[in-house]
Amino acid sequence: MANMRSLISFIVLSLGLLAAAESPISPYNLHEKRTHIPAEWSLQRRHEPTSVLPLRFALTQSNMDNLEELLMDVSHPKSSNYGNHWTPGQVLKTFAPSEETISAVRNWILENGFEEERVKVASNKGWIEVDATTEEAERLLQTEYNLYTHSTGKNHVACNAYHLPYHIQPHVDFVTPTVHFDAKITRRSDEPARSIGQPIFGSSPKTTGAVDDAVLISPTDVSTCDEYITPACLRALYSFNYTPVATSKNSYGIVEYTPEAYLQTDINLFAMNFSEGLYGKAPYMVSIDGGYAQTEYQNFSYNGESDLDLQYGMDLVTPAQQVTLYQVGDMVEGASFNNFLDALDGSYCTFEGGDDYTQDSKYPDTAPGGYDGPEACGTATPTYVISTSYAYDEADLTPFYSARQCAEYAKLGLMGVTILYSSGDYGVAGNGGLCLNPNGTQTLDGTMFNPTFPGTCPYITSVGATQVNPGSTVYEPEGACEQVIYSGGGFSNYFAMPSYQKEAVDYYLANYYPDYPATMWNSTGISRAYPDIAANGANYVVAIDGAFELVYGTSCSSPVSGAIFTMINDARLAAGKSSIGFINPTIYSTDFSGLFNDITMGDNPGCGTNGYNATPGWDPVTGLGTLNFDKLVAQWLTLP
Ligand SMILES: *[C@@H]1O[C@H](CO)[C@@H](O)[C@H](O)[C@H]1NC(C)=O
Ligand SMILES: *[C@@H]1O[C@H](CO)[C@@H](O)[C@H](O)[C@H]1NC(C)=O
Ligand SMILES: *[C@@H]1O[C@H](CO)[C@@H](O)[C@H](O)[C@H]1NC(C)=O
Ligand SMILES: *[C@@H]1O[C@H](CO)[C@@H](O)[C@H](O)[C@H]1NC(C)=O
């Protein structure tokens, strides 16, 4: 036995010498470093040399530099590959770490004396795992491990900095456990969850309260759409009267975050007055991370968003078309967009090191009453169109976190999925009317415009809000929404301008340059501009908690636009064509100009200003304008 071991060591040593001969100069470089210990953690002592650490090397992904090009190849209407969307397997294979990366890191670990059977490549190929004693890990990473204790008593092993050989660095994103303090700390009961479905989160729609006379409106009357929006008003505004024919091949996805939930009794009440055929119809619910349509808590904050999204989404695609409700997160910690994306694409769970538990929820949830099932990872199938009416401010999240999530939207686009997000309800300000300060904080008296995320991700379609102007009819042009809410819009501080919108945005900047100092907005002319399109967002008649209320927000605009795109998909699927997938390169293309109702009235105030103006052509209030279904479906049917 002893002989066998030394023989193996000898072989490993020889291989190590050979490899070293191939790359004689490979000094160690600093790979990651932490400047301070996070609050509430304190240093105890050096970690025991013989304690075992589960070392994990996150490998760098392939082809990320080509992501935009690959997406344009299947999404640009002039591309010969238009509509040739990818399978999830193709996506996984294209972006997984290369064999070269896997073997470089694996060989380097072997060269350092680890036996072959200890070095494992994870089944998704995103990680290399090796259980190492602290002593071994310290030698491998040229570091020192310490034990830290949190004020709650939890222990965590970490180092201040670690190093990798020069030739290994390009193959490794990072190593854990090292400098990261992402150990999950159970939330104290007085600390509210930051999950996006919570009532305290500032992106829900607004209401002016109950309207008793709504029940008197005829479901076909469009003479009072400036005061009450009903499905009939939207059909008239957007030339949208379509009966789907390919329903079995299609579905429309609407995402809700628990505790936000719909009530079937509200859908039924809405059906009785405005949507014959919807009575008793329920969405097809896909539960993610323990999500369910809770009925324990009921008021506008808990039911407003879901009731709105489903009543209008389900009516507009007609009761013949199934609507998929993705209900995400349990009642205790809720969930984030990343938790939803993990469910849609299993490869995202570990992509670039996986979720960030300072923002994202971790399952199983060990808190009392939490969902104790496994974290959803590739458990849900994406529908062709997915609408989400929740949003962060860009400044809430780090550039790395946002870029990682934004890349995932591009991958869904490669798979033929259209992703819609509401653009926000505070004009040029962020959620709750907060504006940016030069030091990056957000306050009500901040002076810099505050863009929303994912609205600024170039791989989603951002939807702003319009209104039927007071005293006008559905046959006259709408204006930007100026009742109760203002359409979110502006210029990103994180994302560069995608090529598909350059001409449209350049035209706006050349002809209607916003008269604000460069200290207030991103005036570089090279950043992603939003929204892309708009739809009505004022005076929606919605059944909520047993009564009709008037509801406002880009939260209305996104599900309505999604319903229209779902029916364009129906027409294409019926003709044996692909889904429309990532639509932005198409809708900004010259063949599609003039197919939108251009909005040229109104603005989007915020941060003590009037915001931007709606102008002819694209603008940072209403994008390209509202949809004209008849014109758009005809043009989309000319594409392969
Ligand atoms: C709306 O619903 C209420 C309650 O069911 C009913 O009394 C009323 O007649 C309905 N209105 C219309 C126009 O259908
Ligand atoms: C709904 O209830 C929650 C919790 O009790 C509260 O925070 C919220 O303000 C309420 N919302 C409305 C619109 O009453
Ligand atoms: C950031 O700037 C704002 C406004 O200038 C100020 O009120 C706030 O205290 C600053 N915060 C930090 C953390 O520096
Ligand atoms: C403006 O946007 C560009 C491109 O996204 C970015 O590089 C730059 O840092 C932004 N400027 C500010 C002040 O945030």
**Which pLDDT band holds residue 309 (cuts at 50, 70, 90)?**
very high
Of the residues 389, 462, 555, 558, which is catalytic? Answer: 555
Residue 446 near residue 505 (C-beta atoms within 8 A): no
Whether 599 has a binding-site annotation, put simply, is yes
Residue 163 near residue 29 (C-beta atoms within 8 A): yes
The pLDDT score that the predictor gives to residue 11 is 37
Peptide bond into 438 cis (omega under 30): no
DSSP class of residue 588? T
Query: Is residue 515 among the annotated active site residues?
Result: no
pLDDT in tens, 219-259: 999 999 999 999 999 999 999 999 999 999 999 999 999 99
Mean pLDDT of 343-358: 82
Please name each of the domains of the chain with its CATH number: 2-35+39-61+96-176 (no CATH), 208-636 (3.40.50.200)
Terminal Cα distance for the chain, rounded: 67
Number of neighbouring beta carbons within 10 Å of residue 265 = 14
CA 581, CA 573: separation in Å to the nearest integer? 12
CB-based contacts of 171, cutoff 8 Å, min separation 6 = 59, 60, 97, 100, 101, 104, 105
The pLDDT score that the predictor gives to residue 202 is 60
**Which pLDDT band holds residue 25 (cuts at 50, 70, 90)?**
low
Cross-strand partners of 542: 549
Q: Which residue has the higher pLDDT, 28 or 198?
A: 28
Query: Is residue 361 among the annotated active site residues?
Result: no
**Which pLDDT band holds residue 200 (cuts at 50, 70, 90)?**
low
Mean pLDDT of 126-151: 94
pLDDT in tens, 448-507: 999 999 999 999 999 999 999 999 999 999 999 999 999 999 999 999 999 999 999 999
The pLDDT score that the predictor gives to residue 203 is 67
Picking from 155, 187, 201, 189, the residue whose alpha carbon sits closest to that of residue 361 is 187
**Which pLDDT band holds residue 609 (cuts at 50, 70, 90)?**
very high
Angle between helices 300-316 and 264-274 (to 10 degrees): 50
3-state helix, strand, coil in the chain (%, to 5): 30, 20, 50
Of the residues 260, 305, 365, 408, which is catalytic? Answer: 305
The pLDDT score that the predictor gives to residue 358 is 72
The pLDDT score that the predictor gives to residue 502 is 98
Whether 619 has a binding-site annotation, put simply, is yes
CA 451, CA 442: separation in Å to the nearest integer? 11
The pLDDT score that the predictor gives to residue 282 is 98
The pLDDT score that the predictor gives to residue 20 is 40
Q: Is 631 helix (H, G, I), strand (E, B) or coil?
A: helix
Q: Which residue has the higher pLDDT, 13 or 35?
A: 35
Query: Is residue 555 among the annotated active site residues?
Result: yes
Lowest mean pLDDT among 12-16, 24-28, 320-324: 12-16
Residue 275 near residue 311 (C-beta atoms within 8 A): yes
**Which pLDDT band holds residue 124 (cuts at 50, 70, 90)?**
confident
Q: Is 299 near ligand 2, meaning CB less than 6 Å away?
A: yes
Quote the pTM value. 0.87
CA 17, CA 21: separation in Å to the nearest integer? 6
The pLDDT score that the predictor gives to residue 212 is 77
In which residue are the tokens 């923002």 written?
Answer: 359
Q: Which atom of ligand 2 is nearest to the CA of 304?
A: 13
Residue 428 near residue 593 (C-beta atoms within 8 A): no
The pLDDT score that the predictor gives to residue 17 is 39
The pLDDT score that the predictor gives to residue 486 is 98
pLDDT in tens, 405-432: 999 999 999 999 999 999 999 999 999 9
Q: Which atom of ligand 2 is nearest to the CA of 299?
A: 1
For residue 437, give the amino acid letter: N
Q: Is 441 near ligand 3, meaning CB less than 6 Å away?
A: yes
The residue nearest atom 4 of ligand 3, judged by CA position, is: 437
Within 13 Å of residue 523, how many CA atoms lie on the same side as its CB? 13
Q: Is 268 near ligand 1, meaning CB less than 6 Å away?
A: no
| pLDDT surpassing 90 at residue 4 | no
Q: Is 524 near ligand 1, meaning CB less than 6 Å away?
A: no
Of the residues 256, 289, 307, 309, which is catalytic? Answer: 309
Residue 299 near residue 230 (C-beta atoms within 8 A): no
| pLDDT surpassing 90 at residue 173 | no
Mean pLDDT of 70-79: 98
Picking from 322, 353, 325, the residue whose alpha carbon sits closest to that of residue 338 is 353
Mean pLDDT over each residue of the chain, to the nearest integer: 91
Q: Is 456 near ligand 4, meaning CB less than 6 Å away?
A: no
Q: Is 447 near ligand 3, meaning CB less than 6 Å away?
A: no
The pLDDT score that the predictor gives to residue 179 is 85
